[in-house]
């Protein structure tokens, strides 16, 4: 295993927080490949702008497993160590999750386990309709249980009385912009500790 952490990104929407992730300039981290299921999404443009090789896999006529297998092949060709789901609006199949077990991080726009299962603005709408006074952002490992994998990092956001879906989305994404780079760094540190422990045990 090399010291370099090779990161692959999957996204489907605007990729609003991607520039902050790419610009965080974390030492020893390389964003080596981007894959999307949406041909013309903002996230893909941002990947291009930051010089990350981008792939569009057209999901039409493919089963979920077939699409996932194609993506796994690309990620493996790039020797990806960690997969980030950054506004990725598909549920991954077991074949994908098993290929990168313990190495897939998703950002979900609520304080999981609250408001699991929804996506993007729908989550913020549900939070407001429930009359919550706080929400937040969660970075969690992806398992076969949707939004149910172990929580890696979480941060709260206060909700003000005249909050709207878009103001809340903006506030939560401001947190994501800092939290995701932190999560990548934490993953990298934990990985190198595990590696060192393994070396000590071998000696």
Place of tokens 């313990």: 102
Contacting ligand GAR within 119-138 (CB under 6 A): 119-120, 123
Alpha carbon distance 114, 140 (integer Å): 13
Determine the Cα–Cα distance for residues 105 and 149; give it in Å rounded to an integer.
Answer: 9
Give residue for tokens 């970075």: 139
User: Which of 108, 124, 140, 193 is flagged as catalytic?
Assistant: 108
Verify binding: residue 109, ligand GAR, rule CB under 6 A: yes
Beta bridge partners of 139: 107, 153
* Token pair of 83 as six digits: 């997969």
> 118 vs 191, which CB is nearer to ligand GAR?
118
Tell me the per-residue interface mask from 25 to 64 with ligand GAR, x by CB under 6 A, - otherwise.
----------------------------------------
Would you call 193 a catalytic residue per the annotation?
no
Q: Does 15 bind ligand GAR (CB under 6 A)?
A: yes
Sign of CA dihedral 168, 156, 29, 91: negative
112 binds ligand GAR (CB under 6 A): no
Choices 12-20, 48-56, 151-159, 182-190 (CB under 6 A): range interacting with ligand GAR: 12-20
Selection from 153, 105, 160, 152 nearest residue 135 by Cα: 160
Q: Are 32 and 7 in contact (CB under 8 A)?
A: yes
Residue with Cβ nearer ligand GAR (70 or 118): 118
Residue whose CB is less far from ligand GAR, 4 or 89: 89
- Which positions lie near ligand GAR, rule CB under 6 A? 13-17, 87, 107-109, 119-120, 123, 172-173, 176
């Amino acid at each position: 295993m090399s010291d370099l952490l090779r990161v692959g990104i999957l996204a489907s929407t605007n990729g609003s927080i991607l520039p902050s992730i790419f610009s965080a300039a974390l030492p020893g981290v390389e964003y080596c490949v981007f894959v999307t299921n949406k041909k013309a999404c903002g996230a893909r443009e941002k990947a291009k702008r930051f010089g990350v090789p981008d792939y569009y896999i057209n999901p039409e006529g493919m089963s979920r497993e077939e699409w996932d297998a194609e993506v796994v092949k690309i990620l493996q060709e790039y020797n990806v160590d960690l997969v980030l789901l950054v506004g990725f609006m598909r549920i991954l199949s077991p074949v994908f999750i098993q290929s990168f077990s313990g190495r897939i991080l998703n950002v979900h726009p609520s304080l999981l386990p609250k408001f699991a299962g929804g996506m993007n603005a729908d989550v913020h709408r549900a939070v407001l309709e429930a009359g919550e006074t706080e929400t937040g952002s969660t970075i969690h490992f992806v398992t076969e249980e949707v939004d149910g994998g172990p929580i890696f990092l979480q941060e709260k956001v206060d909700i003000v009385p005249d909050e709207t879906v878009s103001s809340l989305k903006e506030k939560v994404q401001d947190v994501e912009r800092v939290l995701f780079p932190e999560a990548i760094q934490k993953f990298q540190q934990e990985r190198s500790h595990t590696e060192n422990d393994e070396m000590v045990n071998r000696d």
